[in-house]
């Protein structure tokens, strides 16, 4: 065969491959178009809630849940998620055996369709608190290097710890009749590169929402294409989900009233009630009028950021607000948190409400 014929053959082969690639891309676009017309788009997500690890666990007690706070938060979430008047009847969904309980949970008895309840679309993301941090820090998982036995063991140990907390939070919500489904970033195939988000498929989160479930995600140990592995924080997850799902508002439930100009334990600490985010991502304090408040907050928080300071929350909240989404930072298990979760702060902020609102500057005008 002549070289000319070979050249023609190669040209046709390349043309054929190009057509196949174009067809595959067209099919992918069609699939995305079908997704965009799903019920999820017709009924937008109401809220993404971040349960701070310090608010739902006992910080200084290894792998210990703050049962009282978690119970209160679960009840508040049920109340604000209901899209119809609460009849008072709760179909508990935790049917597993607990120590000291009967083999068959009593909630199953007499179960029928009369318990049908419609919930608004919420997504819950929680931090680790006293779960996972010990294992991760001892082994250096966040620094990567799965070739090291200690790092690999720590990766496994960290995931055992954080997924056990996720399991307990799902159980607490299910007990209140909230159809919660635990979803781990690692198991969903989420990846990072140099600790930054690289791949995160939210299709399963969307499908869970469309099916009437409440996805419950958490900070997790994940694979990293640059350094083998790292820790993906709940604050980063919630910002990414906000970008993809476009909720009406986002709530950070913490162990303090909100963002202060200095650690709230220090004398004279001032609660920053409202922060405006500019188009370039910078922010300024709107209420109260504190001199150089932003500089004070940045310097103060950065000094103790190794213990999980507020700087990450401010940064992530500002990036979310930049999308046009209100963010409320408030103390968990209080009347203030219930008001924030209801979404009522969008139009009216009572003087008695204590917390921090982070919103785009244009909404201030």
Q: Tell me, what's the pLDDT at 233?
A: 92
pLDDT of residue 315: 86
In the β-sheet with 326-331, what is the strand arrangement from edge to edge?
A: 180-182, 214-218, 122-126, 47-51, 249-254, 326-331, 356-360, 274-277, 283-287
The answer on 209 and 346 residing in a single domain is no
Average pLDDT over every residue of 127-136: 94
Range of the domain at 309: 255-365
**Residue of 73 and 83 predicted with greater confidence:** 73
Asked whether residue 90 falls in the same domain as residue 210, the answer is yes
Is the whole-model pTM more than 0.85? no
Q: Looking at the domain assignment, is residue 31 inside a domain?
A: no
- Please give the pLDDT value at position 237: 95
Residues 207 and 356 in one domain: no
Q: How far apart are CA 360 and CA 279, in angstroms?
A: 8
User: Are 213 and 267 in the same domain?
Assistant: no
The reply to whether 310 and 361 lie within a common domain is: yes
- Specify the CATH number for the domain of residue 158: 3.40.1160.10
Instruction: Give the end of a domain, one of 216, 247, 278.
Output: 247
Averaged pLDDT for residues 113-129: 85
Report pLDDT digits (tens) over 136-176: 999 999 999 999 999 999 999 999 999 999 999 999 999 99
User: Which of the listed residues 247, 274, 309 is the one where a domain comes to its end?
Assistant: 247
Q: Is residue 101 domain-resident? A: no
Q: Quick one: pLDDT at residue 90?
A: 81
Tell me the pLDDT tens digit for each residue of 287-340: 998 665 555 554 343 332 322 456 777 888 999 999 999 999 999 999 999 999
Least reliable range by pLDDT among 17-26, 198-207, 241-250: 17-26
- For 169-206, how does the pLDDT look when each residue is reduced to its tens digit (9 = 90+)? 999 999 999 999 999 999 999 999 999 899 999 999 99
Domain boundary among 195, 215, 247: 247
Tell whether 91 and 225 lie within a shared domain: yes
Answer whether residue 33 is part of any domain.
no
Same domain, 159 and 273: no
Kindly report each contact of residues 67-71 with a partner whose C-beta sits within 8 Å and lies 24 or more positions away, as own/partner. 68/333, 69/332, 69/333, 70/168, 70/169, 70/172, 71/172
pLDDT at 153: 98
Do 56 and 175 fall within a single domain?
A: yes
Total structural domains within the chain: 2
- With a pLDDT cut of 90, the percent of the chain lying above it is 61
């Amino acid at each position: 065969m002549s070289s000319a014929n070979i050249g023609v053959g190669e040209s046709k082969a390349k043309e054929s491959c190009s057509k196949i690639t174009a067809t595959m891309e067209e099919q992918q676009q069609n699939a995305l178009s079908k997704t965009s017309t799903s019920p999820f788009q017709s009924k937008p997500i109401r809220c993404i809630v971040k349960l701070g690890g310090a608010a739902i666990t006992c910080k200084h007690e290894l792998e210990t849940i703050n049962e009282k706070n978690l119970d209160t938060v679960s009840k508040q979430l049920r109340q604000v998620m209901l899209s119809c008047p609460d009849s008072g009847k709760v179909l508990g969904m935790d049917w597993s055996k607990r120590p000291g309980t009967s083999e068959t949970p009593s909630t199953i008895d007499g179960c029928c369709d009369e318990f049908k309840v419609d919930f608004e679309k919420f997504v819950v993301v929680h931090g680790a608190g006293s779960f996972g941090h010990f294992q991760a820090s001892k082994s250096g998982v966040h620094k990567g290097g799965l070739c090291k036995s200690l790092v690999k063991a720590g990766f496994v140990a960290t995931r055992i710890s954080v997924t056990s907390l996720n399991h307990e939070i799902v159980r607490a919500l299910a007990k209140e009749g909230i159809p919660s489904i635990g979803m781990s970033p690692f198991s969903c195939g989420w990846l990072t590169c140099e600790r930054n988000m690289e791949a995160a498929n939210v299709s399963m989160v969307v499908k869970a929402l469309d099916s009437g479930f409440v996805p419950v995600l958490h900070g997790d140990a994940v694979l990293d294409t640059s350094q083998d592995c790292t820790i993906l924080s709940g604050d980063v997850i919630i910002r990414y989900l906000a970008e993809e799902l476009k909720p009406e508002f986002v709530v950070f439930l913490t162990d303090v009233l909100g963002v202060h100009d200095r650690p709230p334990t220090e004398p004279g600490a001032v609660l920053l009630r409202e922060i405006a985010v500019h188009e370039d991502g910078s922010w300024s304090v709107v209420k109260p009028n504190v001199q150089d408040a932003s500089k004070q907050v940045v310097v103060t928080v950065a000094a103790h950021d190794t213990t999980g300071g507020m700087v990450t929350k401010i940064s992530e909240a500002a990036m979310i607000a930049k999308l046009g989404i209100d963010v409320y930072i408030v103390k968990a298990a209080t009347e203030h948190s219930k008001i924030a979760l209801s979404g009522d702060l969008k139009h009216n902020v009572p003087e008695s409400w204590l917390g921090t609102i982070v919103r785009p500057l244009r909404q201030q005008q």
